[in-house]
Amino acid sequence: MEYMDDLKEIMALIRVGLEAGGHADPQVCLSRLTHPMDDPYRMARAAHICAAVKADPDFMGAMEKLAGFCGAAQRSCARCPVNKYCNAAIAAAQNAIDPTAPKLIDLFCGAGGLSLGFAQEGYMIALANDIESCCIDTYMHNHPEIPSRHIVHGDINDVMGNLTALARFPVVDVLAGGPPCQGFSMANRQRLLDDPRNHLYKSYIEALKLIGPRFFVMENVKGMLSAAPQAIADFKQAGYAVSAKVLNAKEYGIPQNRVRLIFIGNRVGRDNDAVFARIEQIGREMQPRVLADALYGLKPLKASRIKTATGAESDETGRTIDRATGLTNGYIQTINQGRSMRIVLNHKARYNNDRDIEIFSRLNPGDRSDDPKIADIMPYARRNGIFKDKYFKLEPNKVCKTITAHMKFDCNMYIHPAQARGLTPREAARIQSYPDDYFFRGAYTKTYMQIGNSVPPMLGRIIAKAIKEQL
């Protein structure tokens, strides 16, 4: 059945998210879930969920329990475990339009990390676009304040002609995005941006010309630095003064050695170097964090031993939706915006075979594939020069190595410092500075891809703040 995943998620959230509350008329809750609103996708979802609830006594019982909370005199939609599925709560968020707030378009938006950072700084999202369906699913779920018609799935070149029509607001202050550029590993560094594989960069330039925002932000790999002069010239031709700088997430209160090239440009006569100076000033005010800060308070898990059961869940190996431990620290409070989290999402260990678990167990934090303690069982012993980082046990008192999309294949380079397993998606998300209630949807391995390709929300917020001061 369509939307069945949504229904299962609602049931799990009710199970772990309600602290107390008696039973009440389920129609109280169902009427809010199906609240009329100008969002065809969410209206269709609500109708299907409502029909399923009415047809199943178990679902109806859950709704009775939720209604006890929903109908309470001190009701707080912000604390409701299913507020991202509730049309009444979503409609309220979508109607809360601040005409004075700066407006953002996020192209190549991925799972929405950069958008989240800008939204936390008070920006309103006018349009988001990505080609990955799982990213759009995650984005739409976690950004209910944006009507679904302004979250567009598809190739940027297919929607290019309708960008301004698709945008929620007629005037956009900032265009953001990180177009994938595949040609920067080439030895030939001449006119890299003319490499056919980098055509999405050219699409970004075209979008910039069409939208005409006051500022733009473009994020990319450090390898693009060799092509920065060409990119700056291209942006100048489009009417924008530009500066580029390499930023490392670890210098901005994020426990990760993540180096990225950031372009910031404007067409309104502002000093881009001053924007970067402000970003760096904010970074100096941030408390440095290490891996242990990000992993703090999460439930210990064991690796799954069932290779083909990625959907299987248990107390031992973790659950996609589970009750939070309640333990917190300064870093967790920062990424959660000071909110007390009753649930934790995507904290589920992946499968590992016996050999890998044995390797994980023998290694100490900081050890790699060439460590003598695993020489007898190391499968790549003859090629340690190439695969010396095939296995790496993370060090709790240092920043984490760069979280990458490669984690969708395995987490052998991201071994938990104290548990014989790879990092869970939630642990990776915390390292990226996502809040604990940010739900990565889609196939299990795809969650790693979404997280690894993200811009850390905390870094996005810092960039957003520095630009906002110049608008």
Query: Is 181 annotated in the active site?
Result: yes
The model's pTM: 0.93
- Per-residue pLDDT for 182 more than 80? no
| Region of poorest pLDDT, from 170-174, 186-190, 234-238, 419-423 | 186-190
- Per the prediction, the chain carries an average pLDDT of 89
**Helix runs in 96-227, H state only:** 113-120, 133-142, 156-159, 163-166, 199-211
| Element spanning 59, H or E | helix 57-70
pLDDT score at 67: 79
DSSP 183: G
| Region of poorest pLDDT, from 129-143, 158-172, 185-199 | 185-199
Which is more confident, 454 or 201?
454
97-286+456-468 fold: Rossmann fold (3.40.50)
Strand partners, 415: 393, 422
Structure tokens at 127: 């349009």
Catalytic residue chosen out of the listed positions 135, 181, 400, 411: 181
DSSP 130: E
- Under CATH, which number does the domain 291-452 receive? 3.90.120.10
- Per-residue pLDDT for 255 more than 80? yes
DSSP 314: B
pLDDT score at 383: 57
Taking residue 277's Cβ as centre, other Cβ atoms within 10 Å add up to 13
